[in-house]
Chain A
């Protein structure tokens, strides 16, 4: 913890070595979290960039009440959800443009193939990601952080400001919901 205090103090002074280390240590964590939420390789990289800019701008707000990684996860999640909302409204506008014939841009989401999934699981995981998108926000975040990012219930609870019990509940409900959605996909 004292290492973290010292490291954050260096970040607050704008120390370039500290920022190098921050990017080196957290780039994959941020990228994978964002990718798990937005399901788009290029967008995930752009959002990761925004996350580090946000960290740089608001490091003075970090009080040290939580772990630095928890704080970074929260920024990554917030930025990803903001991006999703923008993308959603853009898709709705395109949908209406298509309806009245002033645009031919596709409003359909293409299947997402996570680069870390083994070849034999590619199609199934693409279906799973499609189903995850349909979950309520809290269930989706808890499921992604546990399944894709490999965090435990306690860590996810700290990130989402919830108890371990409620995270367990969210994941259970997410799994039940996913079974129903996947059942529809396989019976179609």
Chain B
């Protein structure tokens, strides 16, 4: 035997069982048609605009990294090797003992 509240709950839960479809305004279709003639569908390629933007950024970043890497390589290649610098410094006595080094005299 159901209590009064249980019966009310069951009645509420079944209150939508026989629900009919709600009718939209009869002018909706006319209004909608008027609206759709004013707007244009998005071209298919625009739906890829986010992907396109991301791909462009990725290409630019890759190109930048590549150019930077090349520039760094060029700079290091143009630098004279250490042993050449040592030879020059020896030739001009840059690394010889200072004349006024009293402690070692």
Chain B 34-77 interface mask (CB, 8 Å, partner A; 1/0): 01110101111001000000000000000000000000000000
* Residues A19 and B35 in contact, CB atoms below 8 Å apart: no
**A32 contacts partner chain B, Cβ-Cβ < 8 Å:** yes
Partner among A56, A60, A114 whose Cβ is within 8 Å of the Cβ of B19: A114
What total of A-B pairs shows CB separation below 8 Å?
A: 109
* Residues B20 and A116 in contact, CB atoms below 8 Å apart: yes
Partner among A49, A61, A117 whose Cβ is within 8 Å of the Cβ of B15: A117
* Residues B47 and A61 in contact, CB atoms below 8 Å apart: yes
Q: Which residues of A contact B35 (CB under 8 A)?
A: 49, 53
* Residues B47 and A179 in contact, CB atoms below 8 Å apart: no
State in angstroms the CA–CA spacing of A118 and B11 once bound together.
13
In the complex with contacts A19-B33, A27-B24, A57-B39 CB distance below 8 A: yes
> Count the A residues whose beta carbon is within 8 Å of the partner chain — how many?
44
* Residues B41 and A56 in contact, CB atoms below 8 Å apart: yes
Please give the residue numbers on chain B whose beta carbons come within 8 Å of chain A beta carbons, in ascending order.
5, 8-9, 11-13, 15-25, 28-29, 31-33, 35-37, 39, 41-44, 47
Please give the residue numbers on chain A whose beta carbons come within 8 Å of chain B beta carbons, in ascending order.
12, 14, 16, 19-20, 23-24, 27-28, 31-32, 35, 41, 45, 48-49, 52-53, 56-61, 114-118, 121, 124-125, 127-128, 131, 147-148, 175, 178-179, 182-183, 186-187
